[in-house]
């Protein structure tokens, strides 16, 4: 689904190039849930900008669905850190925005959209405006809008980062409950180690100063639930990730 080969990128600061990513390589198979973790400034969001086509690499290549392309805009679903819901549009109107942009047929997709509203627990809120929703509802709305892009690869940049711990835990349960039915591939940025371990098949650890990228496989069976975080195997994985991040 995605291959990133020896990717490098620098920002220019007062005329001097500042390296953010240096010779980074990752791969994501179709149907996988892969997380990116690392301290602030390690290049996680920059990597998403490169994959989505918002930025162009200085060096290296990005291959989507087996094809090397320099025009990547619109080829992946991208959900940024903030939900960016349009305040003047209802839940339903926000969700159908990608279909409107691509001039797709709303009538043909209405039945499917209604079913997803039920699955996302939003069927009673389709006429509500963003300011009338809880944080978890806003994130579910933004996630469903991302799904409506129809893209098989979804880039999720800390989608639960702004939520309180209780809401975040319920969102994990919700996402684990529907992910296998989504038939989508997910690349997920988070600062939360428990979140990364619980959701992921594999994790890439970006090291800020070493400019390295380390792959960690998560050997936990699926389906999973939040109770996994109390198991010895889970705690062992967490400790190994903490050591890598030091």
CA 10 to chain centroid: 23
Tens digit of pLDDT for each residue in 76-131? 999 888 888 999 999 999 998 888 887 766 776 777 788 888 888 888 999 999 99
Domain's final residue, options 133, 150, 167: 150
Structure confidence at residue 16 (pLDDT): 60
Secondary structure element (H or E) that encloses residue 118, with its range: helix 106-119
Counting beta carbons within 10 angstroms of the beta carbon of residue 150, is it exposed (0 to 12), middle (13 to 18) or buried (19 or more)? exposed
Residue 167 in contact with residue 136, Cβ under 8 Å?
yes
- Strand pairing class (16-28; 2-13): antiparallel
- Total count of domains within the chain: 2
Domain range for 146 is: 83-150
> Do residues 160 and 58 both lie within one domain?
yes
> Do residues 169 and 235 both lie within one domain?
yes
Tens digit of pLDDT for each residue in 39-54? 888 889 999 999 999 9
> Do residues 91 and 182 both lie within one domain?
no
pTM: 0.89
Instruction: For residue 138, give the 3-state DSSP assignment.
Output: helix
> Do residues 72 and 162 both lie within one domain?
yes
Rounded CA separation 7/131 (Å): 40
């Amino acid at each position: 689904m995605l291959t990133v080969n020896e990717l490098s990128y620098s920002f220019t600061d007062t005329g001097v190039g500042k390296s953010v990513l240096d010779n980074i390589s990752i791969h994501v198979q179709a149907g996988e849930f892969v997380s990116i973790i690392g301290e602030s400034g390690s290049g996680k969001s920059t990597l998403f900008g490169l994959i989505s086509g918002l930025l162009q690499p200085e060096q290296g290549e990005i291959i989507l669905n087996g094809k090397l392309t320099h025009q990547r805009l619109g080829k992946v679903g991208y959900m940024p850190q903030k939900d960016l819901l349009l305040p003047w549009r209802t839940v339903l109107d926000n969700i159908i925005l990608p279909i409107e942009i691509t001039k797709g047929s709303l009538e043909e997709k209405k039945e499917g959209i209604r079913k997803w509203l039920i699955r996302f627990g939003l069927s009673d809120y389709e006429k509500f405006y963003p300011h009338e929703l809880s944080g978890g509802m806003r994130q579910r709305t933004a996630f469903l809008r991302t799904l409506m892009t129809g893209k098989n690869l979804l880039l999720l940049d800390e989608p639960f980062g702004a939520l309180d711990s209780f809401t975040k835990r319920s969102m994990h349960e919700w996402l684990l409950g529907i992910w296998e039915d989504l038939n989508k591939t997910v690349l997920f940025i988070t600062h939360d180690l428990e979140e990364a371990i619980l959701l992921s098949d594999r994790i890439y650890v970006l090291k800020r100063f070493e400019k390295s990228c380390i792959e960690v496989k998560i050997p936990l069976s699926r389906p999973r639930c939040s109770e996994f975080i109390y198991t010895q195997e889970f705690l062992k994985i967490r400790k190994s990730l903490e050591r890598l991040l030091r």
